[in-house]
Amino acid sequence: MLEIVKYPSKILRTRSTRVTDIKSAEVQSFIAELKETMLAADGLGLAANQVNKDWQILTVSHKDGPKVFINPVICWKSFKKNNMEEGCLSFPQVFGLVRRSKKAWVIYRDENARLRFIKADGLLARVLQHEIDHIRGVLFTDKIFKYTKGEKQVQEWIKQAKDDER
């Protein structure tokens, strides 16, 4: 099982690199560990940089089990949005309201390197947007318009990160 990094780890702000050798033993082993880690943490999604790996790989909870998205790109988002509470495994005990598109279409490679396309809506669309933000170095705390829990902790982490940069 992999260790989930916590904010303010710098890798969470890093734009991840594309994966070209999807069928390699290293990537396949990592995918299996990423899925196992997400399930053990009871998460809805997990991106590679959340376990300290600079790759564009993420996994999301799906009715058929963990689904893997490699080099995912959102090619369309609905104009209609909704507000929902979100949390993140890299921000323990932090929750807030985030506005996201209700639907998202994503092009990606699966774990067998096949090009895929998914039209997601509801919770799946939200989780995909959240996790794709991760591999772009964007955090859900950047998008929170109202904290429901943990705002003081985030402010302390931000202050700590700024102090560490000095």
Tell me whether strands 67-77 and 91-101 are parallel, antiparallel or unpaired. unpaired
> 131, 151, 156, 165: which is the annotated catalytic residue?
131
pLDDT confidence bin for 164, thresholds 50/70/90: confident
Q: Is the pLDDT of residue 161 over 80?
A: no
Check residue 137 and give left, alpha or beta (phi > 0: left; psi -120 to 50: alpha).
left
Alpha helices in the chain (DSSP H): 25-40, 122-135, 151-165
**Annotated catalytic, 131?**
yes
138 has which bridge partners?
none
**For domain 10-165, is the CATH number 3.90.45.10?**
yes
Q: What is the predicted pLDDT for the residue at 166?
A: 74
For residue 158, CA distances in Å to 33, 70, 139 come to 30, 30, 12
Q: For the whole model, what pTM was predicted?
A: 0.95
Q: What is the pLDDT of residues 134-156, one digit of tens each?
A: 999 999 999 999 999 999 988 88
